């Protein structure tokens, strides 16, 4: 079921913002406008991953890392050396040769040169802080097409006028660290303790009733029970039977001998995609091929067949092209009106490859 925290218009966004953060709903609206697209426009997720510090939207370092990973640009990123004085990380891109490694190091000495080490967050959490800084530095430098212009909450906090305790709390929260309470020395008080009396008791927050979206079907579109069903599905897709037999022969497969799961797997891996079906030199995992010109040529052919993935990296969609739910959602998205393009791209980008509800979501969207 879809999240109830995905607004359909500005009024709903305001209601959800008030429900989730009745003290500063405008801040949540601001970070949702800035980063909501990275989290499927789910304001519930945005409220746990994003921050608005003195009017400046920001994300946690790990949230930025997640954006990069979901973009398909990351081959791998890893920590190679880490202690309380420094952190070194390696970053690689999926669209670059595997031997290109981007290395970044952040040290406490660098923080000291920036005048940061006197802050409470650096005094109490040096291990987490050096990791956060090298992570965000490496992400922006290696994957600018995913996170350019995004800064982490602790970076903003260190460069914004605020109390030391407030800065430390924000940094700890964004890094998932429990902050130790500072030891304070009590000065003797000459005046007796007086209970603080508020002139007006806190007012209860009116609950907001949000419409719950209808549940969508999540079962597969087709059943490959037997060979007869298989050929019926081939016919439904207007695929030439001779082409199917030809690709089966090239793969050394006998359709008549396949069970239900094998029929479905064969259909979505070799039959449904025209580019694969009609190719006599198809390469398994072509998006990993060392020949960049070959990857580009295959991508161009796939983008011609599925225009909505024209700007998507092959490493993102390539591994998903044998997943039935993803493929049918992709086909549905490509058949829809241009006015729905942005929403279709969002669904394709963030869907789980086995989530059939996203296909039915696009079917419903096409009716609007």
Digit-coded pLDDT (tens) for 201-243: 544 545 445 444 455 557 888 999 999 999 999 998 899 999 9
How confident is the model at residue 186, as a pLDDT?
A: 45
Going by the DSSP 8-state scheme, the letter that residue 313 receives in this structure is -
Round to whole Å and give the CA distance between 13 and 188: 49
DSSP class of residue 241?
H
The share of the chain scoring above pLDDT 90, in percent, equals 30
Residue of higher predicted confidence among 95 and 24: 95
pLDDT score for 179 = 46
Stretch 148-162: mean pLDDT, rounded? 65
In this predicted structure, what is the pLDDT of residue 331? Answer: 93
Helix (H, G, I), strand (E, B) or coil at 56: strand
Q: What is the pLDDT of residues 251-295, one digit of tens each?
A: 899 999 999 999 999 999 999 999 999 888 778 888 888 888 888
pLDDT at 101 over 90: yes
In this predicted structure, what is the pLDDT of residue 39?
82
* pLDDT reported for residue 103: 94
Q: Which of 1-10, 55-64, 303-312 has the weakest average pLDDT?
A: 1-10
- In three-state secondary structure terms, 321 is coil
Q: What's the confidence (pLDDT) of residue 191? A: 46
Both tokens of residue 271? 């039959």
Tell me, what DSSP letter sits at residue 270?
Answer: I
- Average pLDDT in the chain: 81
Residue ranges of E strands in the chain = 50-53, 56-59, 74-83, 86-93, 102-107
CA atoms 245, 251, 252, 255: torsion sign: negative
Q: Which residue has the higher pLDDT, 335 or 161?
A: 335
Is the pTM higher than 0.75?
no
**Ranges 6-20, 52-66, 172-186, 299-313: which has the least confidence:** 172-186
């Amino acid at each position: 079921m879809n999240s109830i925290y995905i607004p359909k218009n500005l009024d709903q966004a305001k209601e959800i913002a008030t429900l989730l953060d009745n003290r500063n709903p405008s801040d949540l609206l601001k970070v949702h406008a800035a980063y909501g697209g990275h989290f499927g426009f789910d304001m519930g997720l945005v409220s746990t991953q994003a921050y608005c510090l003195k009017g400046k939207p920001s994300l946690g370092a790990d949230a930025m890392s997640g954006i990069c990973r979901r973009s398909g640009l990351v081959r791998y990123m890893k920590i190679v050396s880490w202690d309380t004085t420094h952190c070194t990380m390696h970053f690689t891109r999926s669209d670059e040769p595997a031997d290109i490694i981007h290395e970044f190091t952040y040290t406490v000495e660098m923080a000291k040169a920036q005048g940061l080490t006197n802050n409470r967050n650096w005094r109490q959490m040096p291990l987490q802080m050096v990791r956060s800084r090298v992570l965000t530095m490496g992400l922006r430098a290696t994957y600018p097409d995913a996170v350019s212009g995004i800064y982490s909450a602790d970076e903003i906090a260190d460069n914004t006028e605020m109390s030391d305790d407030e800065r430390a709390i924000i940094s700890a929260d964004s890094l998932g660290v429990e902050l130790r309470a500072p030891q304070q020395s009590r000065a003797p008080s000459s005046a007796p303790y007086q209970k603080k009396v508020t002139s007006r008791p806190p007012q209860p927050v009116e609950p907001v009733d949000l419409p719950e979206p209808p549940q969508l079907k999540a079962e597969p579109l087709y059943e490959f029970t037997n060979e007869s069903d298989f050929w019926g599905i081939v016919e439904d897709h207007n695929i030439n039977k001779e082409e199917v037999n030809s690709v089966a022969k090239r793969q050394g497969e006998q359709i008549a001998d396949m069970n239900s799961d094998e029929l479905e797997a064969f259909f979505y891996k070799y039959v449904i995609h025209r580019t694969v079906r009609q190719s006599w030199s198809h390469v398994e995992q072509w998006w990993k091929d060392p020949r960049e010109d070959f990857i580009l040529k295959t991508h161009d052919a796939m983008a011609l067949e599925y225009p909505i993935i024209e700007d998507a990296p092959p490493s993102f969609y390539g591994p998903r092209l044998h997943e039935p739910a993803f493929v049918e959602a992709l086909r549905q998205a490509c058949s829809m009106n241009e006015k729905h393009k942005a929403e279709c791209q969002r669904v394709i980008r963030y869907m789980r490859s086995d989530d059939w509800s996203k296909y039915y979501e696009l079917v419903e969207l096409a009716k609007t």
